[in-house]
């Protein structure tokens, strides 16, 4: 039987519009409702913003850079949105755990909670790929900024990976749990050589 809709369950606190000081304090609070999925989205948003900063600082009318900037800006705003979506996505799970729901319902809630974290992980990989596609066009004056974008991207990837690893421990279905833990590792292993090469390129261009 489908779960009954409780209007009070539809209310949630938005974190993306919090002042930085308040947001930082909320993270430090042991009772806060934020989890690493939201932290991954924040780091990913910083990665996108820094990549966009590097492109804009290059100040070129090159068509490829213009297109890259447009796509990265779309991703940047998406990451801000995902900060709140991750919080919303785990609400059904928290409700089911609190009410002692059957194992199959808890499993469904865990998978739903993982969905947004997956979005963060694969979307930040897209940021890296876009930056890679225009890396030869980034001016030396912005090389340090582009390099920092990659540092934040890597932080976002590992933060998402850790959240998914933790969520996998709540899963009853062993194969799905192993997949949830292993797929992010494979994705990161796949993009790490690109990140390493770009970091080497950008750092060499810091002049």
The model's confidence at residue 12, banded by pLDDT at 50, 70 and 90, is low
pLDDT of 167 over the 70 cut? yes
pLDDT at position 8 over 60: no
Q: Is the pLDDT of residue 90 over 50?
A: yes
What kind and span of H or E run contains 157?
A: helix 143-168
Res. 123: pLDDT tops 70: yes
Q: How confident is the model at residue 197 (pLDDT cuts 50, 70, 90)?
A: very high
Confidence at residue 1, expressed as pLDDT on a 0 to 100 scale = 43
Tokens of 181: 């833990």
31-74: pLDDT as tens digits: 777 789 989 999 999 999 999 999 999 988 899 999 999 999 99
Q: How far is CA 119 from the centre of its chain?
A: 7
With a cut of 60, say whether residue 133 has pLDDT above it: yes
CA distance 155 to 39: 10
Residues 6+ apart with CB under 8 A from 135: 146, 198, 201, 202
Region 195-207: mean pLDDT is 96
Average pLDDT in the 7-12 region? 48
Q: What is the pLDDT of residues 13-26, one digit of tens each?
A: 666 677 778 778 87
Is 175 buried (19+), middle (13-18) or exposed (0-12) by CB count in 10 A? exposed
Across the chain, the runs of DSSP E, i.e. the strands, are none
The per-residue pLDDT of the chain, averaged, comes to: 88
- Cα Rg for the chain, rounded, in angstroms? 19
Lowest mean pLDDT among 19-28, 119-128, 155-164, 174-183: 19-28
pLDDT on residue 14: 66
| Average pLDDT score over residue span 173-184 | 94
**Which of 192, 190, 173, 30 lies closest to 114, judged by CA?**
173
Over residues 101-112, the mean pLDDT reads 83
Output DSSP code: residue 74. Answer: H
């Amino acid at each position: 039987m489908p779960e009954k809709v409780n209007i009070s369950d539809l209310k949630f606190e938005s974190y993306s519009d919090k002042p930085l000081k308040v947001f930082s304090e909320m993270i430090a609070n042991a009772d806060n409702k934020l989890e690493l999925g939201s932290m991954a989205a924040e780091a990913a948003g910083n990665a996108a913003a820094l990549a966009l900063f590097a492109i804009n600082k290059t100040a070129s009318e090159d068509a490829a850079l213009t297109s890259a900037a447009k796509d990265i800006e779309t991703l940047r705003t998406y990451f801000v949105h995902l900060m709140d979506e991750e919080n919303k996505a785990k609400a059904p799970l928290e409700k089911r755990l609190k009410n002692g729901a059957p194992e199959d319902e808890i499993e469904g809630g865990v998978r739903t909670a993982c969905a947004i974290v997956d979005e963060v992980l694969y979307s930040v990989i897209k940021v890296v790929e876009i930056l890679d596609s225009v890396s030869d066009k980034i001016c030396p004056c912005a090389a340090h900024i582009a390099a920092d974008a990659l540092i934040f991207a890597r932080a976002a990837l590992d933060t998402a990976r850790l959240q998914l690893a933790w969520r996998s421990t709540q899963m009853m279905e062993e194969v799905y749990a192993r997949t949830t833990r292993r797929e992010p590792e494979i994705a990161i292993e796949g993009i790490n050589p690109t990140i390493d090469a770009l970091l080497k390129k950008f750092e060499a261009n810091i002049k």
